[in-house]
Structure 1
Amino acid sequence: MAKVSTDVPAEILLAKRVQEMVMNDEEPAAQYKCRTDKDDAEDDNDDPISSSPIPIIDLSFLSCSEAGEVATEQELVKLKAALSSWGCFQAVGHGISNILLNEVQRVAREFFGQPMEEKQKYGKTVVDFEGYGADPVPEEGQSLDWSDRLFLSVKPEDQRNYKLWPTDPESFRAILEEYTKEIEKVTGMVSRAMAKSLDLDENCFLRQFGERSQLQARFNYYLPCKRPDLVLGLKPHADGTGYTIIMQDEVGLQIRKDDKWFKVPKNPGAILVLMGDQMQIMSNGIFKSPVHRVLSNAKRDRISVAMFYTPEVGKEIGPEDGLITEESPALYRKVKDYADVHIGYYNKGLRSIHTAQV
């Protein structure tokens, strides 16, 4: 990532909000400019769904006893292959209704569409995570993301800070609570399916996540940008989560594989399940935590909602015992609160998975 310099401190830019800059028709400041790869231009063309290599997994085959043994086994093989190579898949048959998915997008768009003074009621400081605004200030020389965000803890329920949950739109709280319950069901399905794909006890990963596993919601608003050739909605990184479940309304998210960027296509009703570093650790490196980013766009805005699924606070996690043999020794040591380590490296534009390696 290229180093930049400017007379405007990052704290001021973050406090100002990207949406405010767009409304004022301002050019992106130097701290937002990070794209230097000459190959990026050819990656910006929209790909049709039919040509996208991002794997698609039907979770209904993995959660329904009536699916049939052969169909279930075939989908488990596909799942293992997807997570071993791509580290992600588009999930269909997940059980979340299109009506609810559309409602989540609606309340998100209505919130971001409000006047700035209304959104500022839920504003956070430049060092906080929860609330409305951008990520905490990165280290000197690291670029800023061209997006506005609302970050909320949603599970465990006693960790919710309802003062930061918007009251306008009025249905926001009820919709997010309902969506959280549905995502909890999906994490159960996915965690069990991943374990079965590795011939492990189906509840082994759920035990590692713990009874008080965490879910955090991040509503992302990617605004039009005058210089999409220089600015990213979200800089390249891998997640420090167990895994992340993402809903997007338009194309923009990209996955890095074999030194190339691949767009996650718009697939109505599908959600993306993306492995984080902690799942790579628990699977002893079999499942990959992919680097990904979000493009900016000169013409349209975009909404996405990411649900970060992470082990409970203070819970030690490590490679599953059933995956450790003399031929396949542990590649990672046991770690605790890895997400805290991850964010320190993320703010420097670095990965942190090496800190858990044996």
Structure 2
Amino acid sequence: MAAAQALSDRGLSHIPTDYIRPPGERPEVAHDSFSQQHNIPVIDISEASEGYGHRMLVREDQVLDWRDYFDHHTFPLTRRNPENWPLNPPAYRQTIKEYSEHMKLLAQRLLSLISESLGLKPSYIQDAIGELYQNISLNYYPPCPQPELTLGLQSHSDLGAITLLLQDDVGGLQVSVDGSWFAVQPVPGALVVNLADQVQILSNGRYKSIEHRAVVNRNKSRISIATFYDPAKEVVISPASELVGSDHPAKYKHVLFGDHVSAWYQKGPDGKKVLDSLSVK
């Protein structure tokens, strides 16, 4: 199947069937009209394969997302190989290196604040995660002739600890709040902070990973850059012992992060069902 950009460039009037989502998963309206808005708090703090792709899951029967992307391994340095990154524009590789450093420091600062807000030592979440595994995904959503039938990115919560998202001014990100979808308007100069599954487990459910998706539109392309801060696949994550007691029993099972990743990519995220399967009944 051709990439989304190639299909868009052909000027098709209808999208291929591989991109058409089941009726219950389609956006209610095309993104051109931006249905519901939601006030997202703005705070002023002044293992995906690497390379080019357009298929998120490993299942052959998956419905495709109207998206192309470049994915880069940036940390640990043993995974970083700039030779796999584009040569053009000339400053691209150096820019990715510098951007990854800044995003690493910001993610660590935010996780320290989250740990403290839970009554834990500032380094708790970082210690639990262990060595940082950081990926940077540059996403391109081309114009789509039938945006009401597909999604730029299917509904899911992120796998790791925290995701920092840089959007352009087009918009397309939506979050699920109490079962309804709300558009997240881009704020110039701001990053969107998505808490991911491992923070929900570590906090014993006090913090929730956010279910989100991306919609597309007929007339404008969109670009976003997502930086993922994840544990190594060998790390076991469980609720913090300090947050578990007779009044607050553990809500989640221990999970090997690599198993969580495998289930997500093989079964499909289907919202937060992979995380929900770890709930203690």
Identity %: 31
Distance 2:70 2:135 in 1: 11
* Alignment root-mean-square deviation, CA: 2.2
Greater Rg, structure 1 or structure 2? Answer: 1
Aligned residue pair count: 274
Note the 1:257-268 alignment, pairs <5 A: 257-268=177-188
Given the superposition, is the C-alpha separation of residues 350 and 315 from structure 1 closer, same or farther in structure 2, using an over 3 Å criterion?
closer
Distance 2:262 2:132 in 1: 15
- Contact conserved, 2:76 with 2:133, CA < 8 A, in 1? yes
Name the residue aligned to 1:226: 145
Note the 1:97-176 alignment, pairs <5 A: 129-136=49-56, 138-139=58-59, 141-176=61-96
1:182 corresponds to 2:102:
yes
Given the superposition, is the C-alpha separation of residues 137 and 231 from structure 1 closer, same or farther in structure 2, using an over 3 Å criterion?
same
Note the 1:72-91 alignment, pairs <5 A: none
1:356 corresponds to 2:278:
yes
Q: For residue 242 of structure 1, what is the amino acid of its counterpart?
A: A
- Contact conserved, 1:238 with 1:276, CA < 8 A, in 2? yes
Name the residue aligned to 1:122: none
2:263 to 337, 341, 351: 341
Q: For residue 91 of structure 2, what is the amino acid of its counterpart?
A: S
Question: Could you list the runs of 4 or more consecutive aligned residues of structure 1 that deviate by over 6 angstroms after TM superposition?
Answer: 347-350
Distance 2:32 2:6 in 1: 26
Distance 2:87 2:28 in 1: 40
The TM-score, its normalising length taken from structure 1, stands at 0.72
Name the residue aligned to 1:215: 134
Report which of the two has the higher share of helix: 1
Q: For residue 143 of structure 1, what is the amino acid of its counterpart?
A: V
1:311 corresponds to 2:235:
no
Distance 1:164 1:138 in 2: 21
1:55 to 37, 41, 54: 41
Name the residue aligned to 1:324: 244
Q: CA deviation at 1:257?
A: 0.7
Secondary structure in structure 1 of the residue aligned to 2:277: helix
Distance 2:208 2:269 in 1: 21
The TM-score, its normalising length taken from structure 2, stands at 0.90
Given the superposition, is the C-alpha separation of residues 42 and 147 from structure 1 closer, same or farther in structure 2, using an over 3 Å criterion?
closer
Distance 1:166 1:297 in 2: 27
Given the superposition, is the C-alpha separation of residues 348 and 290 from structure 1 closer, same or farther in structure 2, using an over 3 Å criterion?
closer
Q: CA deviation at 1:47?
A: 7.2
Q: Identify which range, 36-45 or 186-195, moves more after superposition.
A: 36-45
1:301 corresponds to 2:233:
no
